[in-house]
Amino acid sequence: MQLLDGKALSDTIKIELKKESMALNEKGITPGLAVILVGDDAASQTYVKMKEKACDATGIYSIIHKMPSTISQTKILEIIQMINQNPNIDGVLVQLPLPKHIDTTKIIEAIDPKKDVDGFHPFNVGRLVSGLDGYVPCTPLGVMRLLKAYNIDPKGLDACVVGASNIVGKPMMNLLLNAFATVDICHIYTKNLKEHTKKADLVIVGVGKINLITEDMVKEGAIVIDIGINKTSEGKIVGDVDFEHVAPKCSYITPVPGGVGPMTIAMLLENTILAAQKR
Ligand code: GUN
């Protein structure tokens, strides 16, 4: 069993991105990222802080627009328009989830697709589904990069994606399909999850449920990618996979923390630098 070390890979990527950022500086460009954070969801606040810190370390200017959960949709849309028109900002990210009274689709559709470094705008989603280039959501992009770094080619593999969210599962499915894997996608209404995971060469899970994937659900030699980030009652961070019992069966597995999480942030930085290079 080999660990897929996302922390180490993300550190290497960040060093490269810092160089690209400095090359942009020489052309008089400072890459810029605007983040919209609505409300006081604890996890969202932590993620935004991590993104801000990573931007600082990479030479990306970042500005956080913090808003109370009572803010109106109109006001958020106005701020997005302002960011869209700001020539010093290359990327914009609206931290999800948004409060219930806000229509998330309307907010995402207001983002200029050229600044959509999260890859959530239907324009970029459509390009991904069609196998065209565009901004790709950071978490599944980070998974693909991690596989590539360990010379794992999805071509011809039986892959099982567990979780069908717009942020993780659906773009993950499309990236794997574009890389010629045979993809099975499971979700909350899947009748027999084990039947699907058990036959997969590559299991990718991003649901947010501790110990969802147990030892009996994975075949010998499988590659297991755990996208879940959960806090146990003791305050420990764990994924969706029962790592202790599943890991011995795997050829490769990601740890949590230190697997996919750091890759997500590295891909956000990469998408932002890419946007700045296209300025
Ligand atoms: N909420 C959970 N994951 C993400 C992400 O990757 N981007 C944004 N904007 N919000 C999230």
Nearest CA to ligand 1 atom 7: 95
71 pocket-lining for ligand 1 (C-beta < 6 Å): no
Q: Are residues 37 and 103 in the same domain?
A: yes
Per-residue pLDDT of the chain (279 residues; tens, 9 = 90+): 999 999 999 999 999 999 999 999 999 999 999 999 999 999 999 999 999 999 999 999 999 999 999 999 999 999 999 999 999 999 999 999 999 999 999 999 999 999 999 999 999 999 999 999 999 999 999 999 999 999 999 999 999 999 999 999 999 999 999 999 999 999 999 999 999 999 999 999 999 999 999 999 999 999 999 999 999 999 999 999 999 999 999 999 999 999 999 999 999 999 999 999 999
Q: Are residues 191 and 245 in the same domain?
A: yes
Classify residue 144: in a domain, yes or no: yes
- With the most atoms of ligand 1 within 8 angstroms of its CB, the residue from 38, 51, 62, 118 to mutate is 118
| pLDDT score at 158 | 99
Q: What percentage of the chain's residues is helix, strand, coil (to nearest 5)?
A: 45, 15, 40
Distance 26 CA to ligand 1 centre (A): 31
| pLDDT score at 193 | 98
What domain count does the chain have? Answer: 2
Classify residue 6: in a domain, yes or no: no
Supply the CATH number for residue 146's domain. Answer: 3.40.50.720
The model's pTM is 0.98
Q: Are residues 203 and 92 in the same domain?
A: no
Residue 115 designated active-site: no
Classify residue 267: in a domain, yes or no: no
Q: Are residues 186 and 220 in the same domain?
A: yes
Q: Are residues 56 and 142 in the same domain?
A: no
Classify residue 10: in a domain, yes or no: no
Classify residue 72: in a domain, yes or no: yes
- With the most atoms of ligand 1 within 8 angstroms of its CB, the residue from 35, 38, 47 to mutate is 47
147 pocket-lining for ligand 1 (C-beta < 6 Å): no
Q: Are residues 102 and 163 in the same domain?
A: no
266 pocket-lining for ligand 1 (C-beta < 6 Å): no
Q: Are residues 180 and 251 in the same domain?
A: yes
Classify residue 202: in a domain, yes or no: yes
Of 80, 100, 115, the residue at which a domain comes to its end is 115
Q: Are residues 152 and 61 in the same domain?
A: no
Distance 263 CA to ligand 1 centre (A): 13
Classify residue 272: in a domain, yes or no: no
Q: Are residues 232 and 157 in the same domain?
A: yes
Rg (CA), the chain: 19
> Of all atoms in ligand 1, which is nearest to the CA of residue 138?
6
Q: Are residues 185 and 108 in the same domain?
A: no
Distance 183 CA to ligand 1 centre (A): 23
| pLDDT score at 33 | 98
Contacts of 45 (CB under 8 A, 6+ apart): 37
| pLDDT score at 34 | 98
Supply the CATH number for residue 111's domain. Answer: 3.40.50.10860
Q: Are residues 51 and 87 in the same domain?
A: yes
Classify residue 11: in a domain, yes or no: no
Residue 53 designated active-site: no
Q: Is 73 exposed, middle or buried (0-12, 13-18, 19+ CB in 10 A)?
A: middle
Contacts of 242 (CB under 8 A, 6+ apart): 211, 213, 214, 215
Give me the DSSP letters along 128-170.
HHTT--S---HHHHHHHHHHHHTT---TT-EEEEE---TTTHH
107 pocket-lining for ligand 1 (C-beta < 6 Å): no
Amino acid at 90: D
Q: Is 129 exposed, middle or buried (0-12, 13-18, 19+ CB in 10 A)?
A: middle
Domain that holds residue 232: 138-261
| pLDDT score at 162 | 99
Q: Are residues 144 and 252 in the same domain?
A: yes
